[in-house]
């Protein structure tokens, strides 16, 4: 991992923001791309948001990217480009919680702050056989106190990295107990409770949504818009969208577009309809199809702008649309 042993707080912060809700193997290349494009926080603060979002494309949880941009600008403009050097100051940065602040302050500045992430929750709950739910205020407080008690105050950075790596490599969700140095002392293993720990109290309620996207083309240009509403994929780009409660048949497309005042009937031809695409978010399941429409004359589409085919790759799209654009089998030969 390229950030291992790193002491530069900017690079540690960048790696931690990228790895929030992202697997390490997926995040490594994104980290390298960001460091190459933005070697320091001043460069990141001065970059165009479109370029930053494009580099972030595919990582998901785009609020992290918004926080990244705002924090970079704050440090560059209000802190003279110097990253904060202690836990309390780092904690005040946008998008930085207790875990991230502890990681940065201990790795970069050797401050004795215990890191408690998913790996640490898993290790501690199993070794000590703790069935207190980790997603409750009581559980978070209890595990944080335990982690603080166990912390090596002389080498907090090394200790934090070690216990996190241990959870990632050995005490995984499906653990490698036969290789574990604690297998003679792990209370959960001795009581055959490994698979039930750690405990989570809350159940995620998944909201299902159906997105009918329409890639509208007229004279070699394509209509896109930027999502600005406080909703998923904010600041990313998309095609013309009609959200519905269920799948639309090909026959319904003309009526829906007319009803929504997007396009007049008989002003376009449906050239192709994609297979169903699905994208699972933390609390939502997005399903839908993308229809390719060819218009006879350029329609008035408020909030949308027109780009050439070769310009499409300059904009950041949700994975839902990116998959469509990259899947040759899903796009008609007479479209893209």
Report the catalytic residues. Answer: 16
Which among 48, 46, 38 has a CA at the least distance from the CA of 14? 38
Nearest-5° Cα angle at 290, 288 to 296? 145
41 neighbors 75 (Cβ within 8 angstroms)? yes
Rounded Cα distance between 71 and 83, Å, is: 10
Q: At 214, give phi and psi (nearest 5°).
A: -130, 115
Determine the Cα–Cα distance for residues 316 and 322; give it in Å rounded to an integer: 8
| C-alpha closest to that of 232 among 224, 223, 241 | 241
Query: What's the DSSP call for residue 202?
Result: -
- The full DSSP string for 243-281 is EESSPPPHHHHHHHHHHTTSS-TTSEEEEEEPPPEEEE-
Q: Which two tokens stand for residue 240?
A: 């013309």
* Tally of CB atoms within 10 A around 225: 15
Residue 226, SS3? strand
User: What is the maximal distance between C-alpha atoms in the chain?
Assistant: 75
Q: CB of 246 within 8 A of CB of 212?
A: no
Distance of alpha carbon 281 from alpha carbon 263, whole angstroms: 30
């Amino acid at each position: 991992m390229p950030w291992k042993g790193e002491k530069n707080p900017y690079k540690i912060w960048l790696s931690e923001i990228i790895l929030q809700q992202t697997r390490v193997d997926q995040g490594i290349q994104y980290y390298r791309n960001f460091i190459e494009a933005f070697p320091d926080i001043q460069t990141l603060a001065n970059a165009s948001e479109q370029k930053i979002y494009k580099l972030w494309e595919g990582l998901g949880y785009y609020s992290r990217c918004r926080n990244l941009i705002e924090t970079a600008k704050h440090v560059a403009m209000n802190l003279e480009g110097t990253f904060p050097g202690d836990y309390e100051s780092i904690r005040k940065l946008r998008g930085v919680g207790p875990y991230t602040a502890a990681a940065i302050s201990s790795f970069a500045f050797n401050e004795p702050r215990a890191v408690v992430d998913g790996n640490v929750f898993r290790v501690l709950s199993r070794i000590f056989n703790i069935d207190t739910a980790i997603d409750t205020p009581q559980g978070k407080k209890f595990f944080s106190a335990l982690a603080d008690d166990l912390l090596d105050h002389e080498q907090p950075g090394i200790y934090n990295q070690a216990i996190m790596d241990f959870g990632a490599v050995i005490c995984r969700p499906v653990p490698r107990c036969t290789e574990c140095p604690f297998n003679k002392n792990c209370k959960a293993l001795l009581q055959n409770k490994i698979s039930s720990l750690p405990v989570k109290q809350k159940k995620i309620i998944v909201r299902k949504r159906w997105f009918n996207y329409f890639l509208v083309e007229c004279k070699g240009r394509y209509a896109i818009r930027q999502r600005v509403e406080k909703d998923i994929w904010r600041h990313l780009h998309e095609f013309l969208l009609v959200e519905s409660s269920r799948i639309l048949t090909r026959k319904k497309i003309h009526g829906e577009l007319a009803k929504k005042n997007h396009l007049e009937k008989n002003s376009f031809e449906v050239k192709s309809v994609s297979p169903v695409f699905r994208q699972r978010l933390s609390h939502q399941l997005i399903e839908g199809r993308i229809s390719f429409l060819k218009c006879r004359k350029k329609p008035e589409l408020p909030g949308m702008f027109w780009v050439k085919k070769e310009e499409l790759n300059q904009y950041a799209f949700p994975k839902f649309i990116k998959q469509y654009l990259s899947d040759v089998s899903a796009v008609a030969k007479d479209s893209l």
